[in-house]
Amino acid sequence: MHGLIDNHEIQHVNAAVAAGASIDDNSSIIDMADYESVMFVTTITDSVDTGVAALTIEENAANSDTGMTAVSGGAATATSAADDDLNGLLLVAEIRHPTQRYVQAVLSSATANIAFGETIAILKPRRRPATQGATVSDTAYVSG
């Protein structure tokens, strides 16, 4: 049980987001009651010069988008210096021991068009081995 699959739960939490200059798109909300930390990962699939891409972690005491607030230091951002220079790069943000029970990732863009790929959450459960959720159809682990 030393592999990543045994020690982390993986969830698909948001579909790809088409290019836009003022995106504000929220992932699924995660109940952190049984987890120590969560890392959100998304790809930037298209970028236009001066476009700003951000992945921000928000938290809330209630399982609701209403009342979600950004976590201080919980934003990964990138600014495009030329068309397509961010294409294929990742934004990654993690929160360990959030102060509120529920968290979500928010994808946003500003100034010029940015497009995002799927968003994945990698969670560290309090108990192991981890059980993969419904968004994972199959796993494989090999140790040589």
Q: What is the pLDDT of residue 128?
A: 87
Residue appearing with tokens 């992945």: 55
Q: What is the pLDDT of residue 7?
A: 94
**Is residue 137 one of the residues assigned to a domain?**
no
The pLDDT value recorded for residue 2 is 75
Place of tokens 């700003």: 52
Give how far Cα 136 sits from Cα of 12, 106, 129, Å.
8, 22, 15
Task: State which residues form the domain around 22.
Answer: 4-125
The torsion angles phi and psi of 30, rounded to 5 degrees, stand at -110, 130
Q: How far apart are CA 140 and CA 104, in angstroms?
A: 27
Number of Cβ atoms within 10 Å of the Cβ of 102: 20
CATH code (residue 49): 2.60.120.660
Confidence at residue 54, expressed as pLDDT on a 0 to 100 scale = 98
Predicted TM-score (pTM) of this structure? 0.96
Assess if residue 21 is contained within a domain: yes
Residue 140 lies in a domain: no
Per-residue pLDDT of the chain (144 residues; tens, 9 = 90+): 578 999 999 999 999 999 999 999 999 999 999 999 999 999 999 999 999 999 999 999 999 999 999 999 999 999 999 999 999 999 999 999 999 999 999 999 999 999 999 999 999 999 988 999 899 999 998 988
User: Is residue 12 one of the residues assigned to a domain?
Assistant: yes
Structural domain contains residue 143:
no
Does residue 103 contact residue 58 with C-beta atoms inside 8 Å? yes
- Helix%, strand%, coil% for the chain, nearest 5: 5, 55, 40
Number of domains in the chain: 1
3-state secondary structure of 33: helix
